[in-house]
Amino acid sequence: MDIPTASVSGLPDPLPEGLLVLDVREDEEWEAGHVEGSQHVPMMELGQRYAELAEMFGGEQTLVVCRVGNRSAYAAAFLIQQGVDAVNLEGGLVAWARAGRPLVTDDDRPPSVL
């Protein structure tokens, strides 16, 4: 399957309204830093939780992210098979951070990519 990808440099800053950012990293990775407004569902839970999450995807394009783009590619392929308009972030949040794009945390720690 050919998985659509987006490069950080090809994404507008700020991200457009209506773009759902789905972070499929593990909890500790999410807690270290994530894209503001993104949704978090660890990749290993995506399949079993898809039915409860299906309305989250509601026709919006979904940018799937992880650390370097491998897990998110698998998650994007799964979502595409479910009929979701999903795109994988090439290089993941490592590329995002290197490009100077902002990350946030849910507490006062400075964000990082684990």
Rounded to 5°, angle at Cα 11 from 9 and 15: 140
Identify whether 48 is a catalytic site residue.
no
Q: Which of 66, 87, 93, 113 is catalytic?
A: 66
Give the DSSP letter string of 61-84.
-EEEE-SSSHHHHHHHHHHHHTT-
Q: Which residues are catalytic?
A: 66
